[in-house]
């Protein structure tokens, strides 16, 4: 156990806080789980500020909420407050584990917003407000984010039921053996759950655009006779440059962006609510659909969290297989991302097709081992589900040792010194790395700003401590560096692959209880890994049943969008497209 | 010098263009070397991993060679040796199914007592997420993943809700799609059966010994003679024959047309399976 979590384990003042804040700590969430300190709601900002400034916890990784209405476990006996807001803090400077803070809130009460301490709380607090109805005092822009304004209720609350609601938990009784089976078509989804909030009139509703902040004055102060006016323009949602259904609400003057707000939720399916109905294992194929370019990493992140919670061992060979799959997947992702950054720059299709050529080979390998190219569903709690088929290892070794290095070299030759790419990318979309960290941005984005923070090194999971690889960094934090860092990272992945494929031992691939009857012990856990797009974390809370009590995905694509607005201000509309492309989002993960 | 980066990049694209041109100039491009020609312009394509470039597969004339583990929609196995469905209606597949797309109704005999057989089995293919959990957790090897991905229909309902008839395939079909796994599975099943048989034999031997002892006792006490071991075996055989007759009537439903249709369907599936096996064989042979 790392230093930080060990500190958090002991109650009250042993968070490491100075004496004057000791009374802000009310106790621990639970005595025998990986623990969190419970903080008095009115002192949370003081505690966060102190932790950030004095103790070095500069990265607010995860902010979410749990609804404990009807919770049957022992751990919360005698606690009335229904909702609990959870903060997971990390230090990007010294690495290591997290410190977790909880704030208990009665229904309809407010919590001070953490945005003044960690600007990165912005999108996450809006999500908590949207899905749980917790109001954050002092949040600059507390609106619904994934759902529209006419949505009635807060869907992640335990008493909210979806349109096709059958039961709280799967398996549904209607399926077997004698029950009356019903097809979805026979149900009328709009018979219930289609009420509007009180005082809401759908006919007279118009989306407000006035909220787009003008964060920069029009740029013609020296020419006051020019009668210019800024206007609001929607980029998206239906536009190929947005990489899915995503909207950028911008205030522009001429072509210069004065302010930009990301608007999302078009692909929202309440993944987390589905996750609470599912058994632990059933969630595994659903994680494939989050960042659908990297199902292997998603599988691993979820398996990692559950294994941490239920204390499951993973056999040696399975660890190697996981590393191999995850690194192949990182190459796939970075190749894709490079291709589409170029696409967004206007180099239509050629660089993209060149970049994703080897992706086909890797997907073929995924298909041969797992049965599907993209929805791999390959990992289980305690290992992986299938061993390598005949001939797989040779093909993978050929790719890792010969074809991929060659292909990356070719991509390098094709693009890196290209003058147009440099002209469009150098200095565009700049944001200092301190700002990026404050905005909770993770992954290649901060490494392109010069900070060598990679969870594979900072808090090694799996067997990453055994491999010899570097964390490439680049100094400029602009689009060009965000392109080039991905190429460098893909090269490091190739290095890891070569070592893993050389060293992989024979043996078991699935140990522990990988089965569908898993009952995770009561408690909470936050497990995370370095996904290709950044820090992918799963926050899970269990009441000891066969379903998770809370299943939350901390998705890098979503939280990296915190930086989209600040990065785009002052640049042209055409640059905003590339700035978005260089964040590398997948809407399946943004909207969940 | 300004422009060298551009020229370098253009060099890369030019190289690709020349290579592709060279490839296409040959009458049978060698990029098809891992593929199988089915005649009539139809091909099954397998691109070798060391083949440069990437070839476009001209679907639907050309199709990709699917790996054995490819998973799409589940299928139910009809055990052609034993002439029965392997499914015992235990319902585990319906329980583990993440999107809950499987519905099972257990069959019952004439007295209304549930039996280990399903009377209805539905999979909503529009809901199925091809995760293959049903296959992983089926204790009877009764449900497997089909490779048939050409399922497009005009209406989602009811065409995409597959019933038992549409889902059932003969064992040979499965063996052709999943040869490696099938071999392993058959070996394991044989072993299990062998063990079971041994256990039963031992049990029978014990029972016979007991009987003999009892008979001796009875002889001494002049009780009624019990059935001999041979008689018991004959009885068991009779029962098995009865059971088989029953399942056959259950399948055919007594309706000759339906039975004939089912037979024809099974034959068609077998034929397709053989073709698939042939493709795979030649595909593997040449790579």
Chain B contact for A354 (CB, 8 A cutoff): yes
- The answer to whether the Cβ–Cβ distance between A286 and B98 falls below 8 Å is yes
E strand map for A462-577 = 523-531, 534-542, 550-554
Tell me the per-residue pLDDT of A26-44, one tens digit each, with 9 for 90 and over: 766 655 444 578 888 888 8
- pLDDT of A78 over the 80 cut: no
- The answer to whether the Cβ–Cβ distance between B104 and A176 falls below 8 Å is yes
Q: Which of A175, A370, A408, A419 to mutate to test the interface with B (most CBs of B within 10 A)?
A: A175
CA distance B237 to chain A (A): 31
Helix residue ranges per DSSP H, A219-294: 271-277, 283-288
> Do residues A8 and A99 lie in contact, with contact meaning Cβ atoms separated by under 8 Å?
yes
- pLDDT of A551 over the 50 cut: yes
Q: For B14, which residue in chain A has the nearest alpha carbon?
A: A414
Chain A contact for B67 (CB, 8 A cutoff): yes
ipTM confidence score: 0.79
| Residues of B whose CB is below 8 A from A397 | none
Interface list for B 211-240 with A (CB within 8 A): none
CA distance A265 to chain B (A): 22
- pLDDT of B182 over the 70 cut: yes
- pLDDT of B271 over the 80 cut: no
Q: CA-to-CA distance for A493 and A454, rounded, in angstroms?
A: 13
Tell me the per-residue pLDDT of A57-76, one tens digit each, with 9 for 90 and over: 889 989 999 988 888 777 77
Range picked from A90-99, A397-406, B86-95 for highest mean pLDDT: A397-406
- pLDDT of the residue at A216: 46
Q: Which of B53, B57, B100 to mutate to test the interface with A (most CBs of A within 10 A)?
A: B100
Q: For A370, which residue in chain B has the nearest alpha carbon?
A: B69
Chain A contact for B103 (CB, 8 A cutoff): yes
Q: Is the peptide bond before A171 cis (omega within 30 degrees of 0)?
A: yes
Which part of chain A is CATH 1.10.645.10?
Answer: 271-591
| Residues of B whose CB is below 8 A from A415 | 9
- pLDDT of B95 over the 70 cut: yes
Residue A510 is classified by DSSP as B
- The answer to whether the Cβ–Cβ distance between B16 and A354 falls below 8 Å is yes
Point out the least confidently predicted range of A21-30, A178-187, B59-68: A178-187
Beta-sheet pairing, A534-542 with A550-554 = antiparallel
Number of H helices, E strands in chain A: 20, 17
Sheet of B114-124, strand order = B102-108, B114-124, B161-162
Point out the least confidently predicted range of A548-557, B46-55, B81-90: B46-55
- pLDDT of the residue at B219: 66
Average confidence (pLDDT) over A394-411: 90
CA distance A387 to chain B (A): 11
Average confidence (pLDDT) over A202-210: 71
Q: Which CATH superfamily hosts domain A3-137?
A: NADH:ubiquinone oxidoreductase Nqo5 subunit (3.30.460.80)
DSSP string of A364-422, one letter each residue: HHHHHHHS-SS----EETTEESSPPPTTHHHHHHHIIIIIHHHHHHHHHHHHTT-HHHH
- pLDDT of A393 over the 80 cut: yes
C-alpha to C-alpha distances, A536 to A377, A553, A581, A589, B226, nearest whole angstrom: 17, 8, 19, 10, 72
The more confidently predicted of residues A544 and B157 is A544
Each domain of chain B, given as residue ranges in start order, spans 17-64, 74-170
- pLDDT of the residue at A516: 76
Chain A contact for B136 (CB, 8 A cutoff): yes
- pLDDT of the residue at A4: 37
Beta-sheet pairing, A523-531 with A534-542 = antiparallel
The more confidently predicted of residues A5 and B159 is B159
Chain A contact for B102 (CB, 8 A cutoff): yes
Q: CA-to-CA distance for A64 and A550, rounded, in angstroms?
A: 10
- The answer to whether the Cβ–Cβ distance between A389 and B54 falls below 8 Å is no
| Residues of A whose CB is below 8 A from B104 | 175-177
Interface list for B 138-157 with A (CB within 8 A): 145, 156-157
CA distance B101 to chain A (A): 8
Point out the least confidently predicted range of A64-73, A176-185, A490-499, A569-578: A176-185
Handedness of CA A499, A501, A502, A503 (dihedral sign): positive
Q: CA-to-CA distance for A494 and A352, rounded, in angstroms?
A: 20
Rg (CA), chain B: 28
Please tell me whether residue B54 adopts helix, strand or coil conformation: coil
Strand pairing partners for A107? none
Q: CA-to-CA distance for A59 and A562, rounded, in angstroms?
A: 13
Question: Half-sphere exposure (CA, 13 Å, Cβ side) for A293?
Answer: 22
- pLDDT of the residue at A418: 85
pLDDT confidence band for A9 (50 / 70 / 90): very low
Q: CA-to-CA distance for A335 and A486, rounded, in angstroms?
A: 8
Tell me the per-residue pLDDT of A86-102, one tens digit each, with 9 for 90 and over: 888 888 888 777 788 88
CA distance A444 to chain B (A): 24
pLDDT confidence band for B227 (50 / 70 / 90): low
| Residues of A whose CB is below 8 A from B8 | 413-414, 417
**Chain-centre distance for alpha carbon A306:** 17
- Give the percent of chain A with pLDDT over 70: 86
Confirm or reject CATH 1.10.645.10 for domain A271-591, answering yes or no. yes
| Residues of B whose CB is below 8 A from A375 | 129-131
Please tell me whether residue A542 adopts helix, strand or coil conformation: strand
- For A125: left if phi > 0, alpha if psi spans -120 to 50, otherwise beta; the answer is alpha
> Do residues A154 and A131 lie in contact, with contact meaning Cβ atoms separated by under 8 Å?
yes
Q: CA-to-CA distance for A247 and A266, rounded, in angstroms?
A: 9
- The answer to whether the Cβ–Cβ distance between A419 and B5 falls below 8 Å is yes
Interface list for A 536-555 with B (CB within 8 A): none
pLDDT confidence band for A224 (50 / 70 / 90): low
The more confidently predicted of residues A134 and A72 is A134
Chain B contact for A403 (CB, 8 A cutoff): yes
Using CB atoms within 10 Å of the CB of residue A342, give its burial: 0 to 12 exposed, 13 to 18 middle, 19+ buried.
buried
Q: CA-to-CA distance for A568 and A586, rounded, in angstroms?
A: 19
- The answer to whether the Cβ–Cβ distance between A516 and B53 falls below 8 Å is no
Tokens representing B238 are 């009779």
Tokens representing B85 are 């469905």
- pLDDT of A358 over the 90 cut: no
* Of residues A429, A453, A457, A458, the one with CA closest to residue A441: A453
- pLDDT of the residue at A215: 46
- pLDDT of B32 over the 80 cut: no
- pLDDT of the residue at A236: 78
- pLDDT of A310 over the 90 cut: no
Q: Which residues contact A200 (CB under 8 A, 6 or more apart)?
A: A149, A150, A152
**Chain-centre distance for alpha carbon B115:** 23
> Do residues A173 and A167 lie in contact, with contact meaning Cβ atoms separated by under 8 Å?
yes
Q: Which residues contact A275 (CB under 8 A, 6 or more apart)?
A: A283, A286, A548, A551
Question: How many beta-carbon contacts under 8 Å exist across A and B?
Answer: 132
- pLDDT of A213 over the 80 cut: no
- pLDDT of the residue at B281: 64
Q: CA-to-CA distance for B100 and B123, rounded, in angstroms?
A: 9
* Mean pLDDT of chain A, nearest integer: 83
* Of residues A494, A460, A424, A156, the one with CA closest to residue A319: A460
Q: CA-to-CA distance for B225 and B231, rounded, in angstroms?
A: 12
Of the options 3.40.190.10, 3.30.420.40, 3.40.50.300, 3.30.70.3270, the CATH number for the domain spanning B74-170:
3.30.70.3270
- pLDDT of the residue at B287: 38
Chain B contact for A371 (CB, 8 A cutoff): yes
- Give the percent of chain A with pLDDT over 90: 22
Q: Which of A418, A422, A480, A588 to mutate to test the interface with B (most CBs of B within 10 A)?
A: A418
Number of H helices, E strands in chain B: 8, 10
Chain B contact for A36 (CB, 8 A cutoff): no
Q: CA-to-CA distance for A559 and A262, rounded, in angstroms?
A: 11
Q: CA-to-CA distance for A242 and A578, rounded, in angstroms?
A: 10
| Residues of B whose CB is below 8 A from A393 | none
pLDDT confidence band for B158 (50 / 70 / 90): confident
- The answer to whether the Cβ–Cβ distance between B67 and A389 falls below 8 Å is yes
Q: What angle do CA A83, A87, A89 make, to 5 degrees?
A: 170
pLDDT confidence band for B124 (50 / 70 / 90): confident
DSSP string of A82-141, one letter each residue: -EEEEEEEE-TTT----EEEEEEE-TT-EEE-GGGT-TTHHHHHHHHHHHH--EEET-TT
* Of residues A200, A203, A376, A350, the one with CA closest to residue A285: A376
- pLDDT of the residue at A18: 66
Sheet of A231-235, strand order = A231-235, A247-253, A256-263
Q: Which residues contact B158 (CB under 8 A, 6 or more apart)?
A: none
Range picked from A76-90, A383-397, B221-235, B259-273 for highest mean pLDDT: A383-397
Tell me the per-residue pLDDT of B134-157, one tens digit each, with 9 for 90 and over: 998 888 889 999 888 888 888 777
- pLDDT of B44 over the 80 cut: yes
- pLDDT of the residue at A220: 55
* Mean pLDDT of chain B, nearest integer: 79
CA distance B85 to chain A (A): 17
| Residues of A whose CB is below 8 A from B52 | none
- pLDDT of the residue at A480: 92
Rounded (10°) angle between helices A357-370 and A404-415: 150
Q: What angle do CA A304, A61, A159 make, to 5 degrees?
A: 75
pTM: 0.84
Of B5, B49, B127, the CB nearest to A417: B5
Tracing tokens 């056999």 back to the chain, one arrives at: A315
- The answer to whether the Cβ–Cβ distance between B49 and A398 falls below 8 Å is yes
Q: Which residues contact B140 (CB under 8 A, 6 or more apart)?
A: B86, B87, B88, B90
């Amino acid at each position: 156990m790392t230093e930080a979590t060990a500190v958090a384990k002991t109650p009250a003042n042993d968070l490491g806080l100075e004496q004057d804040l000791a009374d802000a700590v009310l106790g621990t969430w639970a005595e025998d789980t990986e623990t969190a300190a419970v903080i008095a709601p009115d002192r949370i900002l003081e505690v966060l500020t102190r932790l950030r400034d004095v103790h070095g916890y500069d990265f607010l990784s995860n902010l979410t909420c749990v609804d404990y209405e009807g919770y049957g476990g022992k751990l919360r006996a005698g606690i009335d407050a229904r909702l609990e807001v959870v903060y997971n803090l990390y230090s990007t400077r010294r690495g290591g584990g997290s410190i977790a803070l909880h704030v208990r809130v009665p229904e309809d009460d407010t919590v001070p917003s953490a945005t003044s301490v960690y600007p990165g709380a912005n999108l996450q607090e809006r999500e908590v407000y949207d899905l749980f109805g917790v109001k954050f005092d002092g949040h600059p822009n507390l609106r619904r984010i994934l759902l529209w304004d006419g949505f009635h209720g807060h869907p992640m609350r335990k008493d909210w039921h979806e349109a096709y609601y059958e039961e709280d938990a799967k398996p549904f009784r209607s399926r077997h053996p004698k029950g009356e089976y019903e097809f979805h078509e026979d149900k009328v989804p709009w018979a219930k759950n289609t009420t509007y909030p009180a005082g809401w009139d759908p006919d007279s509703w118009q989306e407000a655009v006035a909220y787009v902040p003008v964060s920069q004055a029009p740029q013609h102060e020296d020419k006051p006779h020019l009668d210019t006016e800024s206007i609001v323009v929607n980029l998206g949602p239906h536009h190929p440059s947005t990489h899915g259904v995503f909207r950028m609400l911008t205030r522009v003057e001429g072509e210069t962006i004065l302010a930009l707000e990301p608007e999302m939720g078009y692909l929202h399916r309440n993944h987390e609510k589905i996750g609470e109905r599912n058994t632990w294992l059933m969630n595994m194929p659903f994680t494939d659909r989050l960042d659908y370019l990297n199902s292997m990493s998603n599988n691993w992140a979820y398996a990692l969290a559950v294994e941490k919670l239920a204390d499951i061992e993973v056999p040696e060979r399975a660890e190697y297989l996981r590393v191999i799959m995850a690194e192949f997947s990182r190459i796939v992702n970075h190749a894709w991302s490079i291709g589409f950054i170029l696409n967004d720059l206007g180099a239509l299709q050629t660089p993209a097709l060149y970049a994703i050529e080897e992706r086909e080979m890797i997907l073929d390998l995924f298909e041969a081992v797992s049965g599907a190219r993209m929805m791999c569903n390959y990992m289980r709690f305690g290992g992986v589900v299938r061993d390598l088929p005949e001939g797989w290892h040779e093909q993978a070794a050929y790719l890792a040792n010969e074809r991929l290095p060659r292909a990356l070299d070719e991509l390098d030759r094709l693009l890196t010194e290209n003058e147009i790419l440099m002209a469009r990318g150098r200095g565009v979309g700049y944001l200092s790395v301190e700002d990026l960290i404050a905005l909770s941005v993770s992954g290649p984005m901060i490494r392109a700003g010069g900070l060598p923070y990679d969870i594979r090194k900072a808090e090694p999971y799996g067997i990453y401590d055994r491999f010899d690889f570097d964390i490439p960094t680049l100094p400029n934090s602009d689009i060009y560096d965000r392109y080039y860092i991905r190429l460098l990272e893909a090269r490091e992945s190739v290095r890891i692959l070569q070592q893993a494929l050389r060293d992989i031992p024979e043996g078991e691939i699935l140990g522990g209880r990988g089965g569908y009857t898993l009952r995770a012990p009561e408690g909470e856990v936050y497990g995370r890994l370095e996904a290709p797009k950044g820090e992918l974390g799963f926050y899970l809370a269990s009441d000891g049943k066969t379903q998770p009590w809370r299943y939350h995905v901390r998705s890098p694509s979503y939280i990296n969008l915190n930086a989209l607005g600040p990065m785009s201000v002052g640049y042209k509309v055409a640059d905003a497209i590339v700035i978005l492309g260089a964040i590398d989002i997948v809407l399946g993960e943004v909207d969940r | 010098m300004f422009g060298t980066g551009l020229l370098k990049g253009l060099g890369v694209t030019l190289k690709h263009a020349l290579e592709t041109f060279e490839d296409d100039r040959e009458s049978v491009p060698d990029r098809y070397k891992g593929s199988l020609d089915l005649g009539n312009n139809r091909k099954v394509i397998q691109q070798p991993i060391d083949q440069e470039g990437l070839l476009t597969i001209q679907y639907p004339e050309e199709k990709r060679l699917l790996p054995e583990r490819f998973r799409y929609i589940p299928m139910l196995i009809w055990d052609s040796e034993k002439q029965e469905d392997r499914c015992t209606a235990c319902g585990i597949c319906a329980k583990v199914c993440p999107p809950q797309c499987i519905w099972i109704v257990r069959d019952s005999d004439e007295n209304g007592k549930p039996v280990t057989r399903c009377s209805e089995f539905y999979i909503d293919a529009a809901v199925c997420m091809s995760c293959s959990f049903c296959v992983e957790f089926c204790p009877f090897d009764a449900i497997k993943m089909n490779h048939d991905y050409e399922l497009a229909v005009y209406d989602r309902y009811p065409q995409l809700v597959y019933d038992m008839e549409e889902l059932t395939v003969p064992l040979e079909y499965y063996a052709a799609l999943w040869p490696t796994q099938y071999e392993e599975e058959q070996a394991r099943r044989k072993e299990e059966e062998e063990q079971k048989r041994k256990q039963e034999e031992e049990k029978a031997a014990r029972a016979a010994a007991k009987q003999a002892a009892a008979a001796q006792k009875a002889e001494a006490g002049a009780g009624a003679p019990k059935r001999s071991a041979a008689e018991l075996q004959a009885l068991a055989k009779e029962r098995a024959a009865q059971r088989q007759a029953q399942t056959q009537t259950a399948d055919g439903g007594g309706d000759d047309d339906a039975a004939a249709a089912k037979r024809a369907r099974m034959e068609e599936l077998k034929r397709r399976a053989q073709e698939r096996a042939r493709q795979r064989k030649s595909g593997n042979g040449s790579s």
